[in-house]
Amino acid sequence: MGWLREGSALQNFWERMPERQGGGTPSACAHSLGKLALTEAELRAINVPVEIIVGNRDRLSDSMSSLSSVRKDWPVVEIKDAGHLNCIIKPQFKTLFRRGSRSIVEIGRRIGTEARERCESSKIAASKTQRSTQCRG
């Protein structure tokens, strides 16, 4: 999708999209896309590995250009013979997606382990403080 900038015309477009009669997609879905907008500071604050995937024939790649100009540390991978919509059915995209999904699971496990360790450390510290206070009283 690229970078949907907070306050951009595209964000406004999604939030103001008119109701479609007989459309298969509920208007609430289209309207909620505007809520995905990020400021530049929010974009820079993302601290997980990211790989930008774009079809080499995607006519909507301008948002990718602005995204990659702000996050030069995120590699850009072009999917051959892919446009904006059909990119996700290409084998190269599926391979990259599976690899990324495994990375997300690994990051989640690491974050969970770190959180449990911090929680246990806090419990131990609280227990020691409580005992220390009880001994003084």
CA distances from residue 2 to 10, 39, 60, 87 in whole angstroms, order as listed:
12, 13, 9, 13
Query: What pLDDT, on a 0 to 100 scale, did the predictor assign at position 1?
Result: 60
Report the number of distinct structural domains present in the chain.
2
Residues 87 and 117 in one domain: yes
Q: Is the pLDDT of residue 126 over 80?
A: no
CA distances from residue 66 to 4, 60, 62, 114 in whole angstroms, order as listed:
10, 12, 7, 34
Residues 31 and 56 in one domain: no
Residues 73 and 24 in one domain: no
The widest CA-to-CA distance across the chain, in whole angstroms, is 75
Q: What is the pTM of this model?
A: 0.61
- Between the CA atoms of 30, 33, 35 and 40, what dihedral angle is there, to the nearest 10 degrees? -150
Query: What pLDDT, on a 0 to 100 scale, did the predictor assign at position 133?
Result: 53
pLDDT band at 41 (very low <50, low <70, confident <90, very high): very high
Query: What pLDDT, on a 0 to 100 scale, did the predictor assign at position 45?
Result: 94
Q: End-to-end alpha-carbon separation of the chain, Å?
A: 61
Residues 75 and 124 in one domain: yes
- Tokens 């919509």 identify what position? 85
Domain that holds residue 15: 1-45
Residues 41 and 53 in one domain: no
Kindly calculate the radius of gyration of the chain based on its CA atoms and give it in whole angstroms: 22
Residues 69 and 121 in one domain: yes
Asked whether 73 and 51 are in contact (CB, 8 A), the reply is no
Residues 100 and 75 in one domain: yes
Residues 27 and 58 in one domain: no
Q: What is the pLDDT of residues 45-98, one digit of tens each?
A: 999 888 888 888 888 766 677 888 899 999 988 899 998 888 889 999 899 888
